[in-house]
Structure 1
Amino acid sequence: MTKVAVVGTVGIPACYGGFESLVENLTKYSSNNIQYDIFCSSKSYPKKLSHYNGARLTYVPLSANGVQSIFYDVISLIKCIFKKPDVTLILGVSGCLFLPIYRLLSSSKVVTNIDGLEWKRDKWSKWAKKFLKFSESMAVKYSDVIITDNKAIGDYVDTEYAKDNVVIAYGGDHAIIEHAKVEPEKDYYLSLCRIEPENNVEMILQAFVESEHKLKFIGNWNSSEFGRELKNRFSGKPNIDIVDPIYDLDQLFKLRSECRGYVHGHSAGGTNPSLVEAMHFGKPIFAFDCNFNRYSTEDKALYFSSPNELSEILTCTTNDDLATISQNMKLIAEKRYTWKVINQMYETTYV
């Protein structure tokens, strides 16, 4: 039996983001010879389960996000010294400044997913970026295995650190609800993301204003001044529906099933879970033109880098081309982005 401790997520059951969905599905599809111990934030779980999906849950009384994430991860690693797991799977780099000490005091194999070059994100201050870059360098130097979720990030690790890495993306098939009733396609496009500048939210909204196609845009509009300003500016447009966050998979399944296509504005972060989830629905994908998105979609989606370009491809792409793109997206998703495949790839890193 291989004991694997997982550090760096809010916890499971998944109620937050991509890493949490990853851990939920790693535990769901794990082999019989893997025993997971998942560190969870007690701040996020009023009801504290002792086990979930066969995994043991250990709670830390701090938030797993923001500045507290550094201390949350470090405390989790300190607990691992006493738990003595065979493998320590670290998701994200916040607490990796502690890795040199951890390696001195633990014989555990360290596998780290460095996430999507977090230090490059616009939302961080100058000093936060410096800290995250330093933590990333510690992660790469002191881990036995580095996981990147996109080949573009893998190439960066090769160039920046001359370090071998394993590219493992995310599954998206959990978004498909078997036996659910699929309604006929409706006349709207769908976009779904955190409302941040790097996700090109304003670019997408402006393109739809110019094109007059209908758009449903789901996001956390009220979480920042940036989001509130966009919500106020575009809510009055007759063809744009500004939708507050939806986490219920049944509701999301209905919206994704009925839309004409998915518009993806992310420009950072490697392979984005929301993109691979959308690909499973066999809809045309309109993605911001960057190497991350081109790799994820194998250069077979439609790409834009300005409101005018998005407006033009929405209007001018033929139905035959859209059908071909839809088919390609589903084939790629079923080949590369299922949790059974992703789980097998993770488990090979534990050996």
Structure 2
Amino acid sequence: MKIAILGTRGIPNNYGGFEQFAEIFAVYLAQKKQDIYVYSAHDHIFQEKTFKSVNIIHKYNPEHKMGTVGQFFYDLNCILDSRNRKFDIILQLGYTSNSIWSFLLPKKAIIITNMDGLEWKRSKYSKKTQKFLQFAEKKAVKSSHFLIADSLGIQKYLKEKYNKEAAYIAYGAAPFLNPREDLLLQYNVKNNNYNLLIARFEPENNIEIILEGVAAAQDHKLILVIGNNDNAFGYYLKKKFGDNQKIRFLGGVYNKEHLDNLRYFSSIYFHGHSVGGTNPSLLEAMAAKALIVAHNNEFNYAILKDNAFYFSNATEVKQLTETVNKDNHKQIVQNNLDTIIQEFNWNKINESYLRLFEKSLQ
């Protein structure tokens, strides 16, 4: 098969979840002797034409000049290029900035789209932007031959709203096997003596509720808050909680070894995400044997089931911060690792995608 992956900033990954998946899956396809191409931004840090036998196509991305709107033109450049390459399958990762160009997609290729989360529900977007994202979602559903949902909640939503079946294929993670306690020295924390929160600074990730609960708790453990906070919501939270001695804002940390160790040695890992499908950072916390306290919603429960503690408000965060300790809940930590190995391992995810590709061409 001749396959293209669109919708990422490129590989190898130096940005986020879709890029991580694209790298892992594309290398897997290359190992299976498939003819695989990944579109990358012109200014990606990796400038070679191949990566581990994966073909790389660099296209101009004006995002550095235009901001977010530049993504629309980057996707346009990728789609226009794809028209001349006779791909059997085009896999689109997400739809927000490429669905408006769907009428330009090559007519003979099978279009498969991973529908990501419910982007239009994100409170950071204006009402006008939310309406556009609903329009883009509808366009993606109509223009795709096959849909992929990375959570059962998204699969159910697509069926109910559009009466369209989506294949459920989750995101993946790899068990964290090499803990290094010495790395904690760089963050001035000790094993099982701090809590952890890793998230984008957006209201729907419930960072404010978590920090309100932590601030009110009679527990003296420090909480490390990791994520790029250089936005309006980040400034607001730093102003509100910046004087609290228990709360330390670290900004973005992108070294995966460091993140995995911080998860592994934490007492509580807070996961506040409430919008979207299977969140990569949640799976990575499970894979790193973190004890998870998660926001109570269908997306998180579908993954964690009874192997986590749940909160809906700051009072519940306070109570859990005061009473929950990793040493007392080793079994549910192990259960989550077993879930990663059995259900969310990358080999299973890759095989599921490949089977869908083969089926789509029958």
Per the normalisation by structure 1, the TM-score is 0.92
Which residue type is aligned with residue 53 of structure 1?
K
Is the counterpart of residue 100 in structure 1 residue 76 in structure 2?
Answer: no
- Asked if the contact 2:148/2:167 (under 8 Å) is kept, the reply is yes
How far the C-alpha of 1:180 sits from its partner, in A, is 4.9
How far the C-alpha of 1:182 sits from its partner, in A, is 4.7
Per the alignment, residue 132 of structure 2 pairs with: 131
- Asked if the contact 1:44/1:63 (under 8 Å) is kept, the reply is no
Distance 1:214 1:326 in 2: 21
Per the alignment, residue 337 of structure 2 pairs with: 330
How far the C-alpha of 1:106 sits from its partner, in A, is 2.4
Unaligned runs of 5+ in 1: none
The alpha-carbon distance between structure 1 residues 53 and 63, as it changes in their structure 2 partners (threshold 3 A), is farther
Distance 2:351 2:148 in 1: 14
Distance 1:77 1:288 in 2: 38
Per the alignment, residue 39 of structure 2 pairs with: 39
How far the C-alpha of 1:75 sits from its partner, in A, is 2.1
Distance 1:15 1:206 in 2: 32
The alpha-carbon distance between structure 1 residues 145 and 238, as it changes in their structure 2 partners (threshold 3 A), is same
Per the alignment, residue 59 of structure 2 pairs with: 60
- Asked if the contact 2:118/2:276 (under 8 Å) is kept, the reply is yes
CA deviations 1:244-282 (Å, max 9, x no partner) are 111011221221221112100111121111000000122
Which residue type is aligned with residue 241 of structure 1?
R
Which residue type is aligned with residue 67 of structure 1?
V
Per the alignment, residue 248 of structure 2 pairs with: 241
The alpha-carbon distance between structure 1 residues 63 and 287, as it changes in their structure 2 partners (threshold 3 A), is farther
What is the aligned residue count? 344
Which residue type is aligned with residue 201 of structure 1?
I
Which residue type is aligned with residue 157 of structure 2?
Y
Per the normalisation by structure 2, the TM-score is 0.90
Trace 1:67-146 onto structure 2 (pairs within 5 A): 67-93=69-95, 94-102=97-105, 105-146=106-147
Per the alignment, residue 285 of structure 1 pairs with: 292
Per the alignment, residue 205 of structure 1 pairs with: 211
Is the counterpart of residue 303 in structure 1 residue 310 in structure 2?
Answer: yes
Structure 1 residue matching 2:47: 3-state secondary structure: coil
How far the C-alpha of 1:36 sits from its partner, in A, is 1.5
Structure 2 residue matching 1:287: 3-state secondary structure: strand
Structure 2 residue matching 1:203: 3-state secondary structure: helix
Distance 1:321 1:250 in 2: 26
How far the C-alpha of 1:318 sits from its partner, in A, is 6.8
CA deviations 1:82-141 (Å, max 9, x no partner) are 011111000111211222342xx4211111001101121112222222222111111111
- Asked if the contact 1:149/1:170 (under 8 Å) is kept, the reply is yes
The alpha-carbon distance between structure 1 residues 124 and 74, as it changes in their structure 2 partners (threshold 3 A), is same
Per the alignment, residue 187 of structure 2 pairs with: none
Per the alignment, residue 21 of structure 2 pairs with: 22
Per the alignment, residue 164 of structure 1 pairs with: 165
Structure 2 residue matching 1:195: 3-state secondary structure: coil
The alpha-carbon distance between structure 1 residues 106 and 328, as it changes in their structure 2 partners (threshold 3 A), is same
Structure 1 residue matching 2:124: 3-state secondary structure: coil
Unaligned runs of 5+ in 2: 183-189
- Name which of 254, 263, 266 aligns with 1:259: 266
Structure 2 residue matching 1:330: 3-state secondary structure: helix
Q: List, as ranges, runs of 4+ consecutive aligned residues in structure 1 with deviation greater than 6 Å.
A: none
Distance 1:115 1:226 in 2: 23
Which residue type is aligned with residue 100 of structure 2?
L
Distance 2:123 2:60 in 1: 29
Percent identity, aligned pairs only, is 33
Structure 1 residue matching 2:91: 3-state secondary structure: strand
Which residue type is aligned with residue 126 of structure 2?
S
Structure 2 residue matching 1:57: 3-state secondary structure: strand
Distance 1:262 1:52 in 2: 34
How far the C-alpha of 1:44 sits from its partner, in A, is 3.6
**Cα-Cα RMSD:** 1.9
Per the alignment, residue 214 of structure 1 pairs with: 222
Trace 1:165-184 onto structure 2 (pairs within 5 A): 165-173=166-174, 176=176, 178-182=177-181
Structure 2 residue matching 1:221: 3-state secondary structure: coil
Structure 2 residue matching 1:88: 3-state secondary structure: strand
Distance 2:325 2:165 in 1: 42
Distance 2:318 2:157 in 1: 32
How far the C-alpha of 1:179 sits from its partner, in A, is 4.2
